[in-house]
Chains A and B, each alone.
Chain A
Amino acid sequence: MNRKTKWAVALLALSAIRQPMWVTQSFAATKIFPPITDAAYQKECGSCHMAYPPELLPARSWNRVLGSLQDHFGDSAQLDAATQQRIRDYLVAHAAENAQNEHAFAIVHSLRANETPLRITATPYIAGIHSAVLDPLWGGNPRPKTLAECGVCHLQVQNGNFTMRKFTVTDEAFRSNHLD
């Protein structure tokens, strides 16, 4: 066996042991995010904005967010050390790379290894599927002032479901590429 064949055999053997999730699970089942189970996260972060599913950012981003609460997008979101650590542990444990979720998978793989965005909407995958919404020339309605409150458009978001939308996207190309 030459080198290439050896590699191919090794890869095949590996994939037989640990099948990737997208082979064994249906995509539809992995689109819904599980409910937030940490009361401290819900209370402390959820009073100013929706408590985002932790699956929407990689662990390195959550660590960066939790390390810069003194200046949280221009606001002070200071917490006592114990609460901060508890929330950090929760978010990291459920971060995108640790989740069995189609969107989380896409978020992780849209990022370069050296990229650590603070905003969910700064990840290439999420920015990409919202580009039409953010486009000032977009003919859809209504154009949100900010993307911080997912529930303005995603009406089922309290159930972890981002698939249902209030608005009508008029751009057919966008619709066929990005919606459902």
Chain B
Amino acid sequence: MTDPKSGEVRRCSLCHSTDLRRSGKHATTGKVIEPMAPSVNAKRLSNRADIEKWLLRNCKWTLGRECTPQEKGDVLVMIRGR
């Protein structure tokens, strides 16, 4: 989905950076987001409710819709491998 302010296409990396072992920055507020990779941040992918909450919110921000189960699975497998 295109960001109405910047005209840029929204991507996960706008907040999480392209290296999941490093911290990112919230695209709007600039707040630091701790690394997503479980190899450097053990809290990641450890709470089912949190995973579902963030996938719901962030799919809507990034794509303008909820993700399909397949897409969610792909993202989780990718994150787990980092």
Q: Which of A49, A76, A152 contacts B26 (CB 8 A)?
A: A49
Q: A74-B4, A75-B61, A76-B61 are in contact. Are A146 and B29 (CB under 8 A)?
A: yes
Q: Which residues of B contact A145 (CB under 8 A)?
A: 30
Q: How far is the CB of B77 from chain A (nearest CB, A)?
A: 23
B28 at the interface (CB under 8 A from A): yes
> Which range holds the interface residue count of chain B?
10 to 19
Interface centre among A48, A49, A146, A148 (most CB of B within 10 A): A48
Cβ-closest chain A residue relative to B60: A76
Interface string of A118-159 (1 = CB under 8 A from B): 000000000000000000000000000110110010000000
The answer, yes or no, to whether A73 is at the interface (CB within 8 Å) is yes
In the complex with contacts A75-B61, A76-B61, A152-B56 CB distance below 8 A: no
A75 & B30 in contact (Cβ 8 Å cutoff): no
Q: Which residue of chain A is the closest to B66 with respect to CB atoms?
A: A76
In the bound complex, what is the Cα–Cα distance between A77 and B30 (angstroms)? 16
A21 at the interface (CB under 8 A from B): no
Query: CB within 8 Å of B: which of A63-110?
Result: 73-79
Q: CB-CB contacts of B9-39 with A at 8 A, as 1s and 0s?
A: 0000000000000000010111101000000
Q: How far is the CB of B41 from chain A (nearest CB, A)?
A: 13
B28 and A73 contact, CB distance less than 8 A: yes
Residues on A with beta carbons closer than 8 Å to the beta carbon of B30: 145-146, 148-149, 152
The answer to whether the Cβ of B57 comes within 8 Å of any Cβ in the partner chain is yes
- Please name 6 pairs of A and B residues whose Cβ atoms are closer than 8 Å in the assembled complex, sorted by A: A47-B33, A75-B61, A77-B57, A78-B56, A146-B30, A149-B31
Q: Does B53 contact A (CB under 8 A)?
A: yes
Q: Would B57 and A76 count as touching, CB distance under 8 A?
A: yes
Among B31, B33, B57, contact of A78 (Cβ-Cβ < 8 Å): B57
The residue that B31 contacts in the complex, of A49, A74, A75, with Cβ under 8 A, is A49
The answer to whether the Cβ of A50 comes within 8 Å of any Cβ in the partner chain is yes
- The reply to whether B28 and A78 form a contact with Cβ atoms under 8 Å apart is no
Q: A145-B30, A148-B29, A149-B31 are in contact. List 20 more A-B contacts (CB 8 A).
A: A48-B29, A48-B31, A49-B26, A73-B28, A75-B28, A75-B57, A75-B61, A76-B56, A76-B58, A76-B60, A76-B61, A78-B56, A78-B57, A79-B53, A146-B30, A148-B28, A148-B30, A148-B31, A149-B30, A152-B30
Bound complex: CA A152 to CA B32 (Å): 12
C-alpha gap A152/B28 in the complex (Å):
14
User: Complex: how many Å from CA A143 to CA B26?
Assistant: 18
